[in-house]
Amino acid sequence: MICGFDYGTSNCALGIIEESTVRLVNLEGENAFLPSTVYALDRDLITEAVGRGIRDIHQRQAFAELRQNPLTRAKRARYEEDIADEDQTLFFGRAAFEEYFQWPEEGYFVKSPKSFLGGSGLRTEHIHFFEDVVTVMMQNIKQRAEQSLGADITHTVIGRPVNFQGLDAEVSNRQALEILTTAGKRAGFKEIEFLYEPIAAGLDFEVALHENKTVLVVDIGGGTTDCAMVRMGPDYLKKADRRSDFLAHTGERIGGNDLDIQIAGKHLMPLFGMNSLLKTGLPMPTQLYWNAITTNDVSAISTFNSMDTKQQIQQLRLDAAEPKLIERFMRMREEKHNYHIVRSAEEAKIALSDAQQYLSSLEYIEAGLGANITRAELTKSIASPLEKMLSLMASAINQAGETPDLIYMTGGSAKSPVIRDAIQQRIGDIPVLDGDHFGSVAAGLTVWAERIFR
């Protein structure tokens, strides 16, 4: 079978063509969208699961030779933790969140691994580990879809952002695509192609157009914002070669996750001592707090989890004018609730799309702990990443050399009225239309997969 595969930063989705119509396959009960998360009882059990999930015996043997050390550690972990062969060791999607929320300090939790794939300065062992994380997620999604469909999926088009990282984009993109290709092959896909995500979103939208338009497609994903200026409509729909119709595209590693991090930093981290004072009257150092919640940066999280950081926080508790806040920060770090805090910020962002005020509860940290956030305050806190998103839109229009007839918005954060208002102010009085905020990329990838593989 042929599919379109949206391996997203926040959610994953897989689509097929059924009776000439795109259908997104249910991956988790009645849900077609599976959160991009995995929770393992031990980190090395991820690598073990990859090896067990590779169907081709020669490929499996080659993988075992490449991963001798982590596979040996996985055996040791099973022995030391008394984990039986038949025990469930990995959890995905919503189940991964549930396990993490219940046992944050016990297992190994990964959220949005796509954010890390283009990271600069990654050592070989880091790249191998990200290959394994992506592979095990793809294996899981492919298996769920095949069980639902009752058929093997062999060909896929996978979505990709315009740029995985802002710095040294060419090297970053090549590294990320190599990881995704390796993972896809190990997951069992025989043929893999890639398509820019904003273009995929546009292809899904184009089917509904009754007249030709120049469209600015804006895809605000969890990890990146991608824009494409595309000529669309009935005259273009059946063209085999669409390269001349794509007038411009821009993209950068700034997305919904960055908005969540800013909300967490400005509204939730003060509950842990950020912006408080030392006994000397000097302000509390803030980098520790940003490291805690910058969950889309490997080096920041590594630094936050280091022994040096632990010692620094202990010293700050002695120097702080309000030591109880630092004690709360220490407890949050020890119990590994930093991902949970960013999740709480995301929930606030979603709630404030419909409400003017929201109480973000941190009861999982401490009874009665929380922060009241207004939409006006949220608007102020996300000003910096929002400005970068607006600049990407303006740059795509400038590159194309013409004004779009309309703006087509997709991606989870695109629903925010704060973002919509900012676009109208910056870009002008151009109609803004909504797509399926979560499914349009997967649908467009499916359309393209059917077109190139049939």
Bridge partners (DSSP) listed for residue 220: 225
Pairing of strands 370-374, 191-196: unpaired
Average pLDDT over residues 68-94: 96
Q: Is 412 helix (H, G, I), strand (E, B) or coil?
A: helix
- Is there a contact between 141 and 27 (Cβ–Cβ < 8 Å)? yes
Q: Measured between alpha carbons, how far is 99 from 352 in angstroms, rounded to an integer?
A: 27
Q: Where in the chain is the domain with CATH 3.30.420.40?
A: 2-189, 211-254+384-434
Q: Measured between alpha carbons, how far is 1 from 151 in angstroms, rounded to an integer?
A: 7
Instruction: Please write the tens of the pLDDT for every residue from 214-273.
Output: 999 999 989 999 999 999 999 998 777 777 898 998 999 899 999 999 999 999 999 999
Q: Measured between alpha carbons, how far is 117 from 174 in angstroms, rounded to an integer?
A: 10
Scan for tokens 């009645």, then name that residue. Answer: 30
Q: Which tokens is 299 given? A: 């080096």
Q: Measured between alpha carbons, how far is 294 from 291 in angstroms, rounded to an integer?
A: 5
Q: Is 145 helix (H, G, I), strand (E, B) or coil?
A: helix
Looking at domain 211-254+384-434, which CATH architecture does it have?
A: 2-Layer Sandwich (3.30)
C-alpha dist (Å) from residue 431 to 159, 373, 421, 423, 435:
26, 30, 12, 11, 13
Instruction: Please write the tens of the pLDDT for every residue from 274-309.
Output: 999 999 999 999 999 999 999 998 889 999 999 999
Q: Which tokens is 172 given? A: 């970053």
Looking at domain 2-189, which CATH architecture does it have?
A: 2-Layer Sandwich (3.30)
Bridge partners (DSSP) listed for residue 2: 155
Q: Measured between alpha carbons, how far is 252 from 350 in angstroms, rounded to an integer?
A: 22
DSSP state of 26: P
pTM equals 0.88
What confidence score (pLDDT) does residue 93 get? 97
Q: Measured between alpha carbons, how far is 313 from 340 in angstroms, rounded to an integer?
A: 20
Q: Look at phi and psi of residue 42 and say left if phi exceeds 0, alpha if psi is from -120 to 50, else beta.
A: beta
User: pLDDT: is 340 or 429 the higher one?
Assistant: 340
Closest CA to 214 of 252, 240, 248: 248
